[in-house]
Amino acid sequence: MHENLKRFKKAKPVHPVLYRTIRPFREFIRIEASGGIIVVACLLIALLWVNLPIGSTYDMLWETRFSIAIGNFILDEPLGFWVNDLLMAIFFFLIGLEIKRELLIGWLCSFQQAILPVIAAFGAMTIPALIYVLFNPPGSPGSMGWAIPMATDIAICLGILNLFGNKIPTPTKVFLTTLAIVDDLAGILVIAIFYSHGLHIEYLLLSIVLAVSLIGLNRLGIRRLVPYLLIGALLWTSLLLGGIHPTIAGVLLAVSIPATTKINYEEFKDINDQLYGRLEKIVSCAPEEVDTKAFLNTTNTLERACRDAEAPLQRTEIMLAPWVAFFIVPLFVLANAGVRIESNLLELFTHPVTLGIIFGLVIGKPLGVISSIWLIEKTGRIQVSAAFNRELLVGISLLTGIGFTISLFISGLSFAPGVLLESAKTGILIAALISGILALFTLRRAVGKIESAKKEEIVMQISAHPT
């Protein structure tokens, strides 16, 4: 047996290297964009359902109670709780994996690449919050909703960009994606810090122990997901009982998932070549003379090599992304986007919460993005890429006004069912509609100008070099 193959079969740990193969960016955009279409469909279904004569069944469904009992521990909650607190923890788990990937090997790992979308995201979070506070000052009934207009819904935004196909430059899509990820990270921190209540020290201490245990699994080189998921489930429960929103458990779990490969590319290629040669010898004889035991042992070793050449973070993200995009987020929207159109609709439109969210998202978000980039350019230290022509940048900044998923989530944390929550949902929906229409119009004009410029350049080249 060759030396490298012997070393691999002994399963001695090799020096970990930061994995370099990640899910292609186009695949990420495809999944998010397709998921955005389903989200919009679920939005329309929720609005139609709640306003039909059978609208009472909408509330009945999400108020149906489900229980989990383990020994003397019983958790009896309505279906809406399991969607908003358990399934959304999985959503934040995926967000955490994406943030970790970006910090390690993505755009956020390079200062020069990350600084533009990070600063733009900072402006896109602070200005909308300030605008909201102007309509709902501290001490007013709607003051707790200040974080609602800070979010950007990456799925719907990428879905709209996907309508233009390859006409939108890839750097522009990366810019929007990175900005939205930074928004999500800030949203996670806001939820953890400002939307926790009734803290219980004993459960918080248990949560710290469990979080440290997750890091310990990572440091010990444990690469199977089952131990992480079991401790993650306990962490979710302890945070829930401790008074911190349990979705934070998803982010803490994501931080602990290993992002390194067990063997590097060269070692994998060497092992693969040796195993391929062995398989050739095994199957070179007549079919009835094939040593099936040797064949199975060789294929099992090859399977293990493939698994060890892939980072658990990468494998988990690829496996989880379709479930989140096509099931969890649409189900969350279906459960939370039902806004009743009643006689007091005009009151909802003019409510300070509604106005704060609309002005914060539609005006505050693009104003924050554009002003931040303008300030960066004024420093003279960072030049905005040529891919960001002014009109295209305005269109992208308008897209950030579609907060939707995270905005709905934070509104549910901010307000109890009633006028304030209905006003918040109304503002989020109206803002998403206005921002989407304005962004589509602006992007269409920007793309048209880019296409015209390309055609003119081709004509000039043909004129300069006639055949």
Tens digit of each residue's pLDDT (9 = 90 or more) over 418-448: 889 889 988 998 999 999 899 989 988 888 8
Q: Which pLDDT band, with edges at 50, 70 and 90, does 368 fall under?
A: very high
For position 459, what pLDDT does the model report? 64
Find, among 23, 12, 5, the residue nearest to 300 by Cα. Answer: 5
pLDDT of residue 253: 93
Whole-number pLDDT of residue 107: 64
Q: How confident is the model at residue 140 (pLDDT cuts 50, 70, 90)?
A: very high
pLDDT grade, residue 345 (50/70/90)? low
Across residues 340-367, what is the average pLDDT? 86
Confidence of residue 72 (pLDDT cuts 50, 70, 90): confident
Amino acid, res. 419: V
d(CA 347, CA 350): 5
Residue 357's pLDDT is 95
Tell whether the model's pLDDT for residue 26 goes beyond 60.
Answer: no
Give the 3-state secondary structure of residue 338.
Answer: coil
Q: How far apart are CA 361 and CA 213, in angstroms?
A: 40
* Cα–Cα dist 188/248, whole Å: 7
How many Cβ atoms sit within 10 Å of the Cβ of residue 280? 9
Say if CB 383 and CB 168 are below 8 A apart.
no
Continuous segment of H or E residues that includes residue 75: strand 73-78
Weakest mean pLDDT among 52-56, 157-161, 392-396 = 157-161
How high is the pLDDT of residue 418? 85
Report the pLDDT value the prediction gives residue 288, as an integer from 0 to 100. 64
Q: In the predicted model, is pLDDT for residue 10 greater than 50? A: no
pLDDT tens profile 290-336? 667 777 877 777 777 777 777 888 888 888 888 888 888 889 889 88
Write the DSSP assignment of 210-273 as a string of letters.
Answer: HHHHHHHHHHTT---HHHHHHHHHHHHHHHHHHTS-TTHHHHHHHHHS--EESS-HHHHHHHHH
pLDDT of residue 146: 92
Measured CA to CA, the distance from residue 373 to residue 64 in angstroms comes to: 48
| pLDDT above 80: residue 460 | no
CA of residue 34 relative to chain centroid, distance: 14
* pLDDT above 90: percentage of residues in the chain: 21
pLDDT for res 385: 55
pLDDT at 434: 93
Q: Are 132 and 149 in contact (CB under 8 A)?
A: yes
The Cα–Cα gap between 176 and 32 comes to: 13
Instruction: Write the single-letter amino acid at 444.
Output: R
- Residues 151-174, mean pLDDT to the nearest whole number: 76
pLDDT of residue 435: 93
Give yes or no for a contact between 411 and 421, defined as CB atoms under 8 angstroms apart: yes
Q: What is the pLDDT of residue 108?
A: 66
**Helix-helix angle 25-51:329-336, to 10 degrees:** 20
Window from 22-36, 179-193, 275-289, 450-464 with minimum mean pLDDT: 22-36
Domains for the chain: give ranges and CATH numbers.
Answer: 3-195+245-264+309-457 (1.20.1530.10)
For residue 464, pLDDT beyond 70: no
pLDDT of residue 364: 95
Q: Quick one: pLDDT at residue 292?
A: 73
What are the structure tokens assigned to 310, written together? Answer: 């892939």
The answer, yes or no, to whether residue 23 has pLDDT greater than 90, is no
pLDDT surpassing 90 at residue 450? no
The residue ranges of DSSP E strands in 370-417, in sequence order, are: none
- For the cut 70, the answer to whether the pLDDT of residue 467 exceeds it is no
- pLDDT band for position 388 (cuts 50, 70, 90): low
pLDDT number for residue 312: 84
Write out the H or E segment, with its range, that includes residue 378: helix 365-379
Largest CA distance in the chain: 85
Average pLDDT score, the chain: 80
pLDDT at position 363, please? 95
Between 11 and 121, where is the model more confident? 121
Q: Give mean pLDDT, residues 372-378.
A: 82
User: What mean pLDDT comes out for the span 188-215?
Assistant: 85
pLDDT at 360 over 90: yes
